[in-house]
Amino acid sequence: WKSRDRSGNLHGKGPNQKHSRPTSTGPLKGRMMIGNGSPVGNCYLDPQGFHSGFLSATKGANVNGHADSYSTCSYLTSYNAKKRLSNAPPETLGAAALALHYANVIIVIEKLVASPHLIGHDAREDLYNMLPASLRGALRSKLKPFAKSLTSSVYDTVLAGEWNEAMLGILEWLAPLAHNMIRWQSERSFEHQNFVSRTNVLLVQTLYYANQEKTESTITELLVGLNYIWRYGREVNAKAIEECASARMMFNDDYLDE
């Protein structure tokens, strides 16, 4: 879509959306179309570090993207952990207790983008059921305008390639934050069990301080692109099967005429 607000980063204080638990209410539906503009534009952050607008600044947090040593990382994580956990701004995923859940959602999307042939009914259903109410509503609003044109064939190879490139570009910087979130949580659980500080990932390198509204907007964009790729692949497969069946019928007719 062409009306999305993408400024090159996801920094800013958006309205804090209340989280509702997912309910089983059907798979991703609908389709999307795009005009002449490429979906790739202005959807990247600086991949060289984690000082980006996507991570909301926290008052009193004296952390930079170039920790001098493992001891510094351990010190920052162990000494300031409770303080930083409690000081998460209200507009962040950490404050909404959604950081770990959205990390899992992003990782599932990453796997499906890498292997589109795995996007079946069950995979779509499972992914949809992972989405909270806010994301489901955003996704429906993006797909609804195109639901009436489901019977028409508007999918093309060029646009499918652009969507695939756009999703890969977003995941290039978003997926590491999601993986770091899972790793941070795992290391933190290990610390609690063994009473030893071994955290190698800073909390600021995860989704914890990510702006909730802009994170959800980015995830919605990935879902719309994934939906387009899935429908494009389904259409291509259907045409291939139809052509194969037609060729077989012609072969049989020619064989019977001999």
Q: Is residue 31 part of a domain?
A: no
Q: What is the percent of the chain where pLDDT is above 90?
A: 37
Q: What pLDDT, on the 0 to 100 scale, is given for residue 185?
A: 92
**Residue 89 domain boundaries:** 70-257
- Cβ-count burial of 125 within 10 angstroms (0-12 exposed, 13-18 middle, 19+ buried)? middle
Q: pLDDT for 177-220, tens place per residue?
A: 999 999 999 988 876 666 555 657 889 999 999 999 999 999 99
User: How far apart are the C-alpha atoms of 42 and 54, rounded to whole Å?
Assistant: 13
Q: Is residue 65 part of a domain?
A: no
Kindly indicate the confidence band of residue 117, based on its pLDDT and cuts at 50, 70 and 90. confident
Q: pLDDT for 61-74, tens place per residue?
A: 343 433 343 333 33
Q: Is residue 188 part of a domain?
A: yes
Average pLDDT over residues 135-152: 77
pLDDT above 80 for 244? no
Q: Is residue 32 part of a domain?
A: no
Q: Is residue 251 part of a domain?
A: yes
Q: Is residue 11 part of a domain?
A: no
Return the axis-axis angle of helices 212-257 and 133-143, rounded to nearest 10°.
50
Average pLDDT over residues 6-14: 47
Q: Is residue 198 part of a domain?
A: yes
The phi and psi torsions of 212 (rounded to 5 degrees) equal -65, -50
Report the chain's mean pLDDT, rounded to a whole number. Answer: 70
CA distances in angstroms from 47 to 63, 119, 169, listed in the order given: 18, 28, 10
More confident residue, 254 or 21: 254
Q: Is residue 2 part of a domain?
A: no
Number of compact structural domains in the chain: 1
